[in-house]
């Protein structure tokens, strides 16, 4: 094989794999945002002009929608709009606290440092989110498999034995009759039931998207065992991490509190942040309204008090963020450990009941033959 052919073969192999790896997707993932800020920071800190950095960073992302957003941001910046104002026009992509931090960086002339800190923050948040999702995938798969196994047995297996028992005309044991009745119901009304469930789920989702419905859902989730604990720890971590990020990069306290409201997905915490911001604007410290809300752990409230009194609030909250990040992982692991045996036992009991209902009449028939 000649050198030209070898080179051509290698080129085609590389080009083939580059096309696969650079395939565009339509959604904007957290990874796309993280990569964008990483590329933008690297280019800008290396002395590349902002507009050129934005154009190059746009070409590096694998999200088609993200490319479109960055292109529009670049157009606005080239027209004279500041970077934070251009990004603020796309709140679903660039969160409020991000644009506030970038605004501070532009005003102070420390945009490189701010972008670096923001990139690290997004990376850390994504790693935590990935940890949560990956931890819950296995229990969810187990639940789906368990439900599918029971439904298949009731839908396909039990009817075969039910027809066999019916041919003999003998009276079935109560447990067998109950399982057969459930199986017949699924056979006759299964599709209707699935449609009803789908419609009910759709209507519930629509209702929970309303302000009243979301408020009811959020309050209910907070009161649930383990789930409520998970939400609280996640919100403590969000509060500490984002406050550190905002204050550390020069954002005033009132603007920090205003931006923090957007961090929380739970409406109960959003309302609490509104009250805290109102109280602080009236001259109160952070500690009292946080404690009176009843939504922040005593440990966080105590640490905020120490930070306010010592003038080292950022330093103290940074340690709190590390603690709650670790605590959140512990709670997730505990939830997973609790879910697994429940699913296994539930599946085992369901299958055992179905098998018992099948074998019991067979044993009775065998005894009758003797």
DSSP character string of 9-22: HHHHHHHHHHHHHT
Closest of 303, 299, 262, 258 to residue 276, by C-alpha: 258
pTM score of the predicted model: 0.70
By residue count, the chain amounts to 370
HSE-CB for 129 with a 13 A CA cutoff = 11
CATH number for the region 131-147+211-370 comes to 1.20.81.30
* pLDDT number for residue 16: 46
* pLDDT number for residue 14: 43
* pLDDT number for residue 159: 86
* pLDDT number for residue 305: 92
Q: With left for phi above 0 and alpha for psi between -120 and 50, is residue 92 left, alpha or beta?
A: alpha
Q: Are 242 and 323 in contact (CB under 8 A)?
A: no
What whole-number distance in Å separates Cα of residue 57 and Cα of residue 257? 31
Q: Give the end-to-end CA distance of the chain in Å, rounded to a whole number.
A: 81
Please list the pLDDT of the chain residue by residue as tens digits (370 residues): 444 444 444 444 444 444 444 566 778 888 888 888 888 888 888 888 989 999 998 888 888 899 999 999 999 999 989 998 999 899 888 888 788 888 878 877 788 888 888 888 888 878 877 877 887 788 888 888 888 888 888 888 888 888 887 777 777 888 888 988 888 888 888 889 889 999 999 999 999 989 899 989 999 989 888 888 888 988 998 899 888 888 887 888 888 888 888 788 889 999 999 999 999 998 888 999 999 999 999 999 999 999 999 989 999 999 998 899 888 888 888 887 888 788 888 888 888 888 888 888 887 776 655 5
Contacts of 336 (CB under 8 A, 6+ apart): 135, 136, 138, 139
Domain with CATH 1.20.81.30 in the chain: 22-117, 131-147+211-370
In 169-226, alpha helices (H):
174-208, 211-223
Q: Does domain 22-117 have CATH number 1.10.10.10?
A: no
Quickly count: other Cβ atoms within 10 Å of residue 251's Cβ.
Answer: 20
**Max CA pair span of the chain:** 96
The DSSP line for 231-294 is HHHHHHHHHHHHHHHHHHTT--HHHHHHHHHTT--SHHHHHHHHHHHHHHHTT--SHHHHHHHT
- If you count DSSP H runs as helices and E runs as strands, how many of each does the chain have, helices first? 16, 0
Which residues, in sequence order, are bridge partners of residue 63? 25
Q: Which tokens go with 20?
A: 């696969």
Per residue, the 3-state secondary structure of 310-366, as one string, reads HCCHHHHHHHHHHHHHHHHHHHHHHHHHHHHHHHHHHHHHHHHHHHHHHHHHHHHHH
How far, CA to CA in Å, does 246 sit from each of 45, 103, 258? 21, 11, 11
Q: Are 170 and 364 in contact (CB under 8 A)?
A: yes
SS3 content of the chain, % helix, strand, coil (to 5): 85, 0, 15
* pLDDT number for residue 172: 81
Q: Are 269 and 297 in contact (CB under 8 A)?
A: no
């Amino acid at each position: 094989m000649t050198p030209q052919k070898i080179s051509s073969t290698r080129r085609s192999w590389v080009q083939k794999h580059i096309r696969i790896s650079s395939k565009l997707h339509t959604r904007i993932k957290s990874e796309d945002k993280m990569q964008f800020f990483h590329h933008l920071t690297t280019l800008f800190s290396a002395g590349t002009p902002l507009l050129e950095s934005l154009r190059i960073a746009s070409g590096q992302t694998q999200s088609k929608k993200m490319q479109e957003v960055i292109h529009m941001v670049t157009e606005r910046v080239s027209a004279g709009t500041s970077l934070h104002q251009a990004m603020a026009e796309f709140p679903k992509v660039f969160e409020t606290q991000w644009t506030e931090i970038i605004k501070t960086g532009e005003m102070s002339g420390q945009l490189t440092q701010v972008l670096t800190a923001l990139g690290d923050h997004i990376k850390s948040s994504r790693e935590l989110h990935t940890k949560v999702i990956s931890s819950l995938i296995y229990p969810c798969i187990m639940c789906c498999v368990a439900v599918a196994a029971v439904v298949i047995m009731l839908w396909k297996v039990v009817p075969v034995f039910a027809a066999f028992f019916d041919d003999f005309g003998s009276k079935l044991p109560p447990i067998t009759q109950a399982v057969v009745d459930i199986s017949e119901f699924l056979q006759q009304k299964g599709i209707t039931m699935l449609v009803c469930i789908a419609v009910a789920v759709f209507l519930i989702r629509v209702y929970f998207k309303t302000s009243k419905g979301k408020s009811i859902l959020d309050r209910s989730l907070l009161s649930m065992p383990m789930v409520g604990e998970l939400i609280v720890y996640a919100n403590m971590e969000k509060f500490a991490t984002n406050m550190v990020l905002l204050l550390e990069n020069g954002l005033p306290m009132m603007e920090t509190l205003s931006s923090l409201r957007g961090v929380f997905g739970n409406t109960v915490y959003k309302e609490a942040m509104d009250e805290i911001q109102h109280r602080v604007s009236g001259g109160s410290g952070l500690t009292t309204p946080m404690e009176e809300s009843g939504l922040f752990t005593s440990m966080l409230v105590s640490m905020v008090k120490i930070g306010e009194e010592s003038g080292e609030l950022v330093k103290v909250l940074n340690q709190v963020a590390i603690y709650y990040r670790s605590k959140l992982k512990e709670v997730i692991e505990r939830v997973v450990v609790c879910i697994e045996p429940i699913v296994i036992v539930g599946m085992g009991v369901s299958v055992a009941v179905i098998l018992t209902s099948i074998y019991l009449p067979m044993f009775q028939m065998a005894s009758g033959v003797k």
